[in-house]
Chain A
Amino acid sequence: MTIDRRSFLGVASMAAIAAPSLVRAQGAGPIKVGEINSYTAQPAFLKPYRQGWELALEQINAAGGVMGRKIETIFRDDGGKPEDAVRHAGDLVNAEKVDLLSGGFLSNVGLAIADFAKQNKKLYVASEPLSDAVVWANGNRYTFRLRPSTYMQAAMLVEEAAKLPAKKWALVAPNYEYGQSGVRWFKELLKKAKPDVEFVAEQFPALGRIDAGATVQALEASKPDAIFNVTFGADLSNFVRQGNTRGLFEGRSVVSMLTGEPEYLDPLGAEAPVGWIVTGYPHADIQTPEHVKFRDAYKAKYNDYPRLGSVVGFDTMNSIAAALAKAGSTDTEKLVDALEGLKFPSAFGSAEYRAIDHQSTLGAYVGKTAVKDGKGTMVDWTYRDGAKYLPDDAEVKKLRPAG
């Protein structure tokens, strides 16, 4: 390699910048969690997520921590790139000596960290990535996942969709793994529940780049009885506005994934769709004691209402604390054993990390969208326990080669 004087200086100063931080003694100090997420790439979900996380952390540490040790979190931003997430994972494990990893928003980031966890035999608690592959096709001993997967959300919605008289369905989903598998499971499960349905149109706009007018027109042209939507965020807002103006939703049932989450419903304001069957989070109306306690604490700390991200962050931290308490150790193998079948408290009530596939049974709320006081909200909702929307054990064993 040819390096001249300047480059030599550059390398030397690089090394100085990256000089190892003080290596702390293990065992006595706080328990360290390395939390990797796409904070700058997906701030709408992850800012509330981090707040929910920090709320749980504060509560746990105020109560004396776990095993008499406080928990400390090191947050890292992957900028939405799996390769950066892997670099952070390596850095957190090797340099910061974290006891476990957590986080992940995008599916491919989650899969990359999960593979790192498997290779390095380090625990990874995936909070948000919805891809089924995280626990099934690419599942491994060291990876657990909190949120209900694409499969589970589709299964919850299919249950409702099958009750509709609609025969001809049109589908629209963002063109990446989440959208594709959402559509795949919806079609497969609906066909099973109701063999006479047919799927007349499929639209796969690029994520964040929907050409809403043209997409609405293409769906309209297929004259469906009902529509299944998987888009979210800005794509959803644009789709809803064009669909409202062009009358796409009039006289048609719409079933829609994640649309009831405040992250995606609130930006729509008074233009929020009415009567869509959605999965989501009716934060203002859930009056279970666990949720009221969580909501009050959240409001007191941040002077803002919780989003679904807040719940996910809160629950992830709490489930990690429960696992640490049960294992009585920060040893990875002991933690994995503790997590298998671990029951933990969540803002939605008690849930469990299944031993068979490491998926948690945390559920979701299914209901209909409505507009109240110029804001979108959910009505007629019920909580669907995630445990009821997973395939039977024999099927899971087939889907998860890792066992």
Chain B
Amino acid sequence: MIDLILTQTLNGLASASSLFLVASGLSIIFGVTRIVNFAHGSLYMLGAYLAWTLVSYLGPADTFGFWGGVLLAALLVGLAGVLIEVLILRRIYQAPELFQLLATFGVVLMLQDLALATWGPEDKLGPRAPGFKSFVILFDNRFPTYELFLIAVGPLVLGLLWFLFQKTRWGTLVRAATQDREMVGALGVNQRLLFTSVFAFGSMLAGLGGALQLPREAVNLHMDLAMISEAFVVVVVGGLGSVTGAYLAAVLIGILHAFGILIFPKITLVLVFLVMAVVLVVKPYGLMGRAPVGHARGHGPAEPLLLPADRLTKLAGLLALALLALTPIFAPDYLLSTLTELIIFALFAASLHFMMGPGGMASFGHAAYFGLGAYGAALAVKWLGAPMEPALVFAPFLAGIAGVVFGWFCVRLSGVYLAMLTLAFAQIAWATAFQWVELTGGDNGILGVWPSAWASSKTAYFYLTLGVCAVSIVALRLTIFSPLGYGLRAARDNPLRAEAIGLDVMRIQWVAFIVAAFAAGIAGALFAFSKGSVFPTYMAIPRSVDALLMVLLGGVQTVSGPIIGAFAYAGLSEQLMKATMYWRFGLGLSIVLLVILFPRGLVGGSLLLVERWCRRPEAAATARLAAEGGR
């Protein structure tokens, strides 16, 4: 038994190393540039693929060929990082918080298709490392020498990073920028160079992490997304910007995996997220993280003031609604079902926007409430034999109750920590749906969730969806301009002042969280009946990312943004998916271009343009101030 424990500990340490390399790069990049680099997993994958090619070319059996290939691959990935930073990210540093995430997600999509086109669909099993091909006997078990090598790499890189950050000027600048970016700029440091070099360095670490996996894992097209969520967990558990924390967290996660396999072989995936939830509840800034100095939202420009719609806007809204209501007269069935889906997504995006825009609480796990709404409806139909109408009423409450419980924990945090806790809860909800096969049917889902007879025609269901969603979206909008909404915005803009004038910030945010969850639940329930079936994918990470993209694309700080964003994003991906097999590249490229052209989102950007055109002196001044980051 003791042998097994020791061996599993070593196994855990070995898998921790690559995780640490990737996570430390991610952490450094975030620390300095405040970019949540979603493409970091893709850079890791790129490192592995490049290493595979280079090592095969330089000679896998040769010591120099192999290690030279690995290092060269890491350098090339660093270069790719420079390209991404200079071509894309540099243009949007001034955009609102998290907006850069959208751009990096575009890069993820593009790199997926580039890798597929370059290296083909088959997995690539790399050669074993020269000098580390065999095993040693440890605790009566055979243990691969390459794993021992990997165990050593972690602390080695940690030591190097420590030296770099403590003993070189560049490292000092990086640390300074992590603490206070504006101050570093004010002191005359060349920020552009610093940002580019940091991004390149972080990318290189990810590339190295990928390249070192070559003798250990088959290189495949799913490595990127498999790595990125785990790397995020490590960064957050360790504490943002803390390299030592990242190492501790990587070791914790690695060992947890190794032992989780022995004790709970079925829940290894969610175990990681359970641990993250516990850590964040107990230590809100991660194991080694510190509360941010000064104002948490100190970067980016001031948020423009939200105003209730003027008469013209209201008229346009009514007109659009009327137009939508008239579509069944001329539109064929398939267009109606696509529109039904888009309207549902508009509500889903609007619900996320409610907590993210006015509430200032970005969620990486909003699909949980969408999915719970869908499951609420499906379970009511399957287990209670309920017809559609009561199921639709019941479903959002399941999502709302989850919002009550999860929200209570989440509102105690802020920023990326809050976002990651929502992700953890979403993963726990997903795992429940996935594993509780008796209740939910597991990944085979629940089938036969079709609407009642009167709503089964496409037209009838379209009207049902349009009615419910329009009412819900208007209700959300009215709430934004109600006392609750004003309180929420006060809490977002300055929690201290809000507290001082007697607002219970946490309570307000909690209520907003629940409202958002409830509204997402409505969308989910409608979605379930439009599809006829419910699957765990409804609450998986990609759907949460979809919602986030819709809101960001439309513009976080506008009220109608999420609706436009939902139509633009879902419509675009639907059309591209039909048109080409390389739709991911097309979608990624469109996202990147939109991000560069409309750094405040589609609606935010258009509003800014309109205000400039109208040359209203006051508005123009506000807009200019906003654009220049005045606060």
Contacts and interface: CB of A to CB of B under 8 A. Distances in A.
Interface of A: 1-8, 10-12, 14-15, 17-18, 20, 39-40, 43-44, 46-47, 75-77, 79, 81-84, 86-87, 90-91, 94-95, 107-108, 111-112, 115-116, 119, 131, 133, 138, 175-177, 180, 202-206, 208-209, 211-215, 217-218, 220-221, 233-234, 237-238, 241-242, 245-247, 263, 266-269, 271
Interface in B552-610: 559-560, 563-564, 567-568, 571, 574-575, 577-578, 581, 583-584, 602-603, 606-607
Given A1-B317, A95-B335, A119-B450, 4 more contacts: A3-B317, A203-B261, A211-B11, A271-B125
Interface in B31-56: none
Contact of B532 (A2, A115, A180, A209): A115
B486 interface: no
Contacts of A18: 335, 338, 571, 575
Nearest to B226: A209
A112 B14 CA distance: 40
B247 interface: no
A233 B223 CA distance: 12
Give 8 closest A-B pairs by Cβ, nearest first.
Answer: A43-B121, A237-B218, A3-B320, A95-B334, A94-B334, A1-B470, A214-B258, A3-B317
A217 B4 contact: yes
A180 B12 CA distance: 26
User: Most chain-B Cβ atoms within 10 A of its Cβ — which of A10, A95, A271?
Assistant: A10
Nearest to B263: A218
User: Most chain-B Cβ atoms within 10 A of its Cβ — which of A107, A138, A176, A241?
Assistant: A241
B537 interface: yes
B563 A7 contact: yes
B4 A205 contact: no
B559 to A, nearest CB: 7
Interface string B303-343: 00000010011101101110110010001111101100110
A363 to B, nearest CB: 25
A234 B535 contact: no
Interface string B255-266: 001100110011
17 contacts: A7-B564, A15-B331, A18-B571, A76-B577, A87-B338, A91-B338, A94-B333, A108-B445, A112-B531, A206-B269, A214-B15, A214-B257, A237-B125, A237-B218, A238-B216, A242-B144, A246-B135
B505 interface: no
Given A217-B7, A238-B216, A267-B124, A2 B447 contact: no
B474 interface: yes
B579 to A, nearest CB: 10
Interface string B193-222: 000000000000000000000001110111
Contacts of B535: 82-83, 108, 112
Given A5-B313, A82-B537, A138 B447 contact: yes
B560 A3 contact: yes
Contacts of B334: 90-91, 94-95
B477 interface: yes
B320 A83 contact: no
B444 interface: yes
B504 interface: no
User: Most chain-A Cβ atoms within 10 A of its Cβ — which of B124, B143, B268, B337?
Assistant: B268
B323 to A, nearest CB: 7
A267 B560 contact: no
A267 B444 contact: no
A114 B567 CA distance: 29
A44 B123 contact: yes
Contact of B266 (A91, A175, A220, A267): A175
Interface in B530-550: 531-533, 535, 537-538, 542
B122 interface: yes
Contacts of A47: 121
A17 B579 CA distance: 12
B147 interface: yes
Nearest to A95: B334
Given A119-B532, A175-B266, A234 B559 contact: no
Contacts of A75: 581
B560 A4 contact: yes
B interface secondary structure, majority? helix
B473 interface: yes
Contacts of B437: 180
A20 B332 CA distance: 7
Contacts of A46: 121
Contacts of A8: 316, 319-320, 323
B185 interface: no
B469 A107 contact: no
Contacts of A20: 331-332, 335
B142 interface: yes
Interface residues of B, number: 99
A190 B574 CA distance: 46
Contacts of A215: 261
A112 B538 CA distance: 13
A81 B444 CA distance: 12
Contacts of A208: 220, 222, 226
A263 B477 CA distance: 52
Interface in B410-463: 434, 437, 442-445, 447-448, 450, 458
Contacts of A131: 444
B138 to A, nearest CB: 11
B439 to A, nearest CB: 15
A40 B583 contact: yes
Contacts of A203: 261, 265
Contact of A214 (B8, B332, B434): B8
A400 B342 CA distance: 36
A214 B577 contact: no
Interface string B336-373: 01100110001000000000000000000000000000
A199 to B, nearest CB: 13
Interface string B1-22: 0001001100110110000000
Nearest to B124: A267
Contact of A107 (B123, B443, B470, B537): B443
User: Most chain-B Cβ atoms within 10 A of its Cβ — which of A17, A213, A217, A267?
Assistant: A213
B141 interface: yes
B573 to A, nearest CB: 9
A308 B220 CA distance: 19
B567 A245 contact: no
A90 B338 CA distance: 9
A104 B583 CA distance: 19
A65 to B, nearest CB: 25
Given A217-B11, A246-B144, A44 B122 contact: yes
Interface in B248-292: 257-258, 261-262, 265-266, 268-269
B314 A2 contact: yes
B443 A108 contact: yes
A246 B143 contact: yes
A211 B14 CA distance: 11
B581 A238 contact: no
Contact of B567 (A10, A116, A202, A238): A10
B269 A82 contact: no
Nearest to B112: A40
A86 B532 contact: yes
Contacts of B220: 208, 233-234
Contacts of B321: 1, 3
Given A115-B447, A217-B8, A1 B567 contact: no
Contact of A83 (B262, B331, B537): B537
B17 to A, nearest CB: 12
A62 to B, nearest CB: 25
B142 A245 contact: yes
Contact of A4 (B113, B216, B309, B444): B309
A213 B147 contact: yes
Contacts of B262: 218, 221
B269 A209 contact: yes
Given A2-B559, A107-B443, A217 B141 contact: yes
